[in-house]
Amino acid sequence: MLRTVVFTVANVGLTMVLGTLIALLLLRVSTFVRVLLTAGLVLVWSVPVVVAVQVWYWLTNFQNGVVNYSLGLGQHDWYATTFSQLAMVTALIVWGGIPFVVVTVYAGLAQVPRELVEAAEVDGASSPRVFLDVTLPVLRPVLLILTSLSIIWDFGVFTQPFLLIGQSKLHSANYLMGVYLYEQGYAKSDFGRGAAISLLMLLMVAALSVVYVRKMVRLGDER
């Protein structure tokens, strides 16, 4: 339970921070690199989750995975400890989650008035300051929605840990809520307990969902 919360925070945090940074990076590169990078991100975005899992499994394979070779780690087994198993799942989720965040934040950045940024620069503000005081307030609604969506998605994540860690290696020490739910409710056919877990999960994301749903409904009615 606590593990799931920590896991979700780590995933969402990494996805959001890296995603926003890449979006900011897109503003600074030349057109060619921007198109290239966007195309690459969209490509990553479109890779089906199940496929992505298989590819990561191959990349991090301990015998002749390319990651071990590149880092000069010999035959390091990435799935030996609970921590590193979950870290691999995190890497996979963050990798898959970044493109959506980048594309959305980049669209949001287009809303930042250029004059405001220039005015701040003329007034001698450093670029972190410009980001904090000018860009961030404009981006806030976008970031808010993205964060709540990501939390909801990552909290209930199932496919990635279930397949990447592999059914045989899953045990109570590396369960995330989604997987725990599956094991209890389905694999052990304890429908009662399964239903209880899923209600718990619902309650935990409910607060966030309310924020998101209210925002969407309000926007929907305005249009």
Binders in 109-148 for another protein, by CB under 8 A: 111, 141-142, 145-146
Name the residue type at position 60. Answer: T
3-state helix, strand, coil in the chain (%, to 5): 80, 0, 20
Among the residue ranges 7-15, 56-64, 118-126, 129-137, the one whose residues contact another protein (CB under 8 A): 56-64
Using CB under 8 A, pick the residue from 86, 89, 98, 134 that binds another protein: 98
Long-range contacts of 39-44 (CB under 8 A, 24+ apart): 41/98, 41/99, 41/102, 41/103, 42/99, 42/103, 44/95, 44/96, 44/98, 44/99
- Is 79 a binding residue for another protein by CB under 8 A? The answer is no
| CA angle, residues 213, 217, 218, in degrees to nearest 5 | 120
- Is 29 a binding residue for another protein by CB under 8 A? The answer is yes
- Is 52 a binding residue for another protein by CB under 8 A? The answer is yes
Binders of another protein among residues 174 to 203 (CB under 8 A) are: 177-179, 181-182, 185-186, 191, 194-195, 197-199, 201-202
- Is 53 a binding residue for another protein by CB under 8 A? The answer is yes
Using CB under 8 A, pick the residue from 6, 55, 73, 136 that binds another protein: 55
Sign, CA dihedral 123-129-130-135, equals: negative
In angstroms, give the least distance from the CB of 81 to another protein: 21
Residue with smaller CB distance to another protein, 53 or 134:
53
Residue keyed to tokens 């899992």: 53
